[in-house]
Amino acid sequence: MKDILTAPFVKEMQKTTANMYRLGWDERNGGNISYMLEEDEVKEYLDLGNVIRTIPTGFDATDLIGKIFIVTGTGKYFKNVVDDPETNLGIIRIAEDDTTAELLWGYKDGGRFTSELPAHLMSHMARLKVDKENRVVMHTHPTHTLAMNYVHELDEKKFTHTLWEMCTECIVVFPDGVGVLPWMLCGTNEIGEATAKKMEEFRLVVWGMHGIYGAGKTMDETFGLIETVEKAAEIYMLTAHLPRVNTIRDEEMVELAEFFGVNYRKDFLNI
């Protein structure tokens, strides 16, 4: 059996968490990632019959029974994942009782998955109904996106439209727009349910005055979605207090979207 520390999915988690910490998106133990794995890729590295212990998930994940995820740990710092993945990450499988996770590897200090796992699993379930290839859910606190929450209306159409105006590629990268939630208590099923509902139509959901959730087929896609929003938010924050001399017009956004063949939210444009 191969060394789990050489597994591509472990390496991806190490690289991505290190990048997110380096960018200042995930201070202290902020942020969390869940990455759904294929059984065939995991069994090259682990005995899937060896369950280390079981951990209650706190909600009914019937649609994900048998699914395997690698998940960041609660209270863990992203900066430490690269040096000690076995303590800061865990590989879990949703058990047959649908409310328990079977730990297959990791959390070696007795830890457990992120407290926001219910929100992640609910979002996975929602996105899989829209896109059966969805595998990643990522939550982070990008600085400029968060700052924008305090000075911009938390309205999905207006928030998305502003971001689309900031960078030429935005309407192409996230043509489905950005969902927005008001401030809600984190770590609860309520915010998980609200996020999952938004995930039925958006791959990106802003948590007001908190951060953002992203979902995608791959780690790169999901990271890239959030990265593009953050770049647009940074440009907005650098220019919001200045007179607007130039902008990307709605007709030009349409031209972009249609040239690149993306299915964009026409109702989010002012035309």
Alpha-carbon dihedral sign for residues 38, 68, 132, 218 = negative
Q: Are 98 and 60 in contact (CB under 8 A)?
A: yes
Active site residue 116: yes
What is the 8-class DSSP label of residue 168? T
Q: Are 65 and 128 in contact (CB under 8 A)?
A: no
**Exposed / middle / buried, residue 80 (Cβ in 10 Å: 0-12, 13-18, 19+):** middle
**Exposed / middle / buried, residue 258 (Cβ in 10 Å: 0-12, 13-18, 19+):** exposed
Catalytic residue among 38, 44, 102, 116: 116
What is the 8-class DSSP label of residue 220? H
Give CA–CA dist 60/11, Å, rounded.
30
**Exposed / middle / buried, residue 208 (Cβ in 10 Å: 0-12, 13-18, 19+):** middle
Nearest of 148, 140, 130, 113 to residue 198 by alpha carbon: 130
Residues in the chain: 271
User: Residue 32 forms beta bridges with which residues?
Assistant: 139
Q: Considering only CA atoms, give the Rg of the chain.
A: 19
Instruction: Give the SS3 label for residue 155.
Output: coil
Q: Please list the active-site residues.
A: 116
